[in-house]
Amino acid sequence: MAKLRLILGISFIMLMIMSCTSQTNTESADTIKVDTSQIQADTVAVIEEEVIPELEQRMIDQGLVNIQTIDSTIMVELKYSTTDNFVHTDVYGDLTRAYMQQKPAEMLAKASKFLQSQYPNYRLLVYDGARPLTVQHKFWALLDTIPPAKRADFVANPAEGSIHNFGSAVDLTVYDLDTQKPLDMGTKYDYFGDLAYPSLEDQMLREGKLTKQQIANRLVLRNAMQKAGYMRIESEWWHFNAISRARAKELYKIVE
C-alpha cells in the first residue's frame, strides 16, 4: 500500500510538471515570436556592418567622411567602381560611396546649396572623391604601356601623390532632375584632349568644337564650386581642388 501511494504521488507530481511545462511552452512561444523579431533586426544590423567594403572601412578609419552624410542631396556615381572610365577597369570594387576630408566635404555641401539656390532641379553628381594611394598605384600600373614621363598626363605619379590622395579633390558634374541625366559638358568624364580644357573653351567655341550651351553648362558647375572656395584646373572641366597640393600635405596625411 505504501508503494502504491508512492507511485500515485509520483504520478501526480509528473502530471503537475507536465502541465506547468505545457503552460510555460505556450508562454515561451509568444515570447519567442517577439524575441525573434528583435533577433532578426539585430542580425540585419550586423549584416549591414559586415558588408562595408574594406576600402571604405579604411577611409572611415582614417577620419574621412561620407559626403552624403554632410549633404544627402549630393548624388554619387563612382566611375572607378565601374568599367566606364579611361582605364576601362573597376579599381574600387565594392566601394560605392564618396569620401573626403571633413572641410572639403563641407565646402562641397556649400557648392551644392548654392547650385540649388540658382537651379532648384539641378544636383551635384560626384564621380570621384578621396582616392587611396593603393588605387593610385593601380592606375599607374594599368598605364604600363605608356612611358612613365607621359603617364603623368593621365594620372598623378603615386610617388608624388594626387590631391585626391589627400581627400581634398573631387571630380563631378551637374545632374538635371527634369531630364534625369547629366548636363552636356561637351565631353565625357575623363576625356583627355583639348575639348576638356577650361583654358581652351573660347578657342573650341570659335572652332565649332564646343557649343555655347556646353560652355554655359560648365559655367554652372564652375560657378557653384568656386563660390564654395574650390579651385578649377586648366585641363579637366570636372576636377576641382579644395586646397593646393602643398597645403593638403601640410594639413592631411595621405589616404592609404
Q: Which residues are annotated as a binding site?
A: 164, 171, 239
Binding-site positions for Zn(2+): 164, 171, 239
160 included as an active-site residue? no
Single-letter code of the amino acid located at 234:
E
- CA angle (202 as vertex; 169, 176 as ends), nearest 5: 55
Contacts 24+ apart (CB under 8 A), 142-149: 142/87, 142/89, 142/91, 143/87
CB 248 within 8 A of CB 213: no
108 Cβ contact list (under 8 Å, min separation 6): 67, 70, 71, 74, 100, 124, 126, 170, 228, 230, 242
- The one catalytic residue in 27, 236, 250, 256 is 236
Query: CB–CB of 74/109 below 8 Å?
Result: yes
The residues annotated with a catalytic role in the active site are: 236
